[in-house]
Structure 1
């Protein structure tokens, strides 16, 4: 899908079965700084903690879904799921064209995305890295790449 100059764009970012609340706070602070429209969790719930120093959860919409099917059922029409996962079928982030309307879905550091999430994602992306990265760092890199692509269009 072409970026189409990112007209009428929006994106959200979230974590499936996040392992630590600190990572959620850091990811959400990055989301607020890098232009996300909303944040979400699937599985475990968000708990306020010191790493959300900008109080992003009160500055943008936050959604919680009990499981992946609940999440998928409640996506806005036309939104594409971009799974961020080390997977042999994943496209390289360095050449990926971000959809205008999408959600970036990250998995927990210890288990990654569920099989259902991988199967149901419209796109899978990964970036050059020797090892798996912290979920907040990985999400920040993806959002930064989106911002860079937007500025080039």
Structure 2
């Protein structure tokens, strides 16, 4: 039997994304930075020009109509990591990424829903005073994940 318990994986997605271009850019970054899957909650993905690597054919994509549906289908044993500028969020540079997790980003104009913030196992934030473009924020989180950090 294969022991998947110790394997690392992560997925990344957007709640109520504003534009399909943001998802396309995030998808390309996810493919390049080792994500296992991507997803959306609310707005649907539509193929468009920013998906230049045709990531839709090389990485699983999931769509959930509601946060509740998404949350009910989190992979077993995975931690939900919300990316949000809140007071109780940990600065990204100090965050120890879980081995098995799902990163959830909100749209630039609204951020994550209250329910998503409440249900997140961890919240991370950037030093930035203003919100970042969602695909840029996701790319930074994925890049930070691969940096060597001491594990406790």
Describe how 1:23-38 pairs up with structure 2 within 5 A. 23-38=22-37
Larger relative helix fraction: 1
Please give the alpha-carbon distance, in whole angstroms, between the structure 2 residues aligned to 1:56 and 1:146. Answer: 20
Unaligned runs of 5+ in 1: 1-6
Q: How many residues align?
A: 146
Q: CA RMSD in A?
A: 1.1
- Please name the residue that 1:90 is paired with: 89
Which aligned runs of 4 or more in structure 1 are off by greater than 4 angstroms? none
What secondary structure is seen at the aligned counterpart in 1 of 2:21?
A: helix
Please give the alpha-carbon distance, in whole angstroms, between the structure 2 residues aligned to 1:69 and 1:149. Answer: 34
| 1:61-112 CA-partner distances (Å, limit 9, x unpaired) | 0000011000011111111000000001100100100000000000011000
Unaligned runs of 5+ in 2: 1-5
Residue 55 of structure 1, CA deviation: 1.0
TM-score for the superposition, normalised by structure 1: 0.92
- Please name the residue that 1:3 is paired with: none
TM-score for the superposition, normalised by structure 2: 0.93
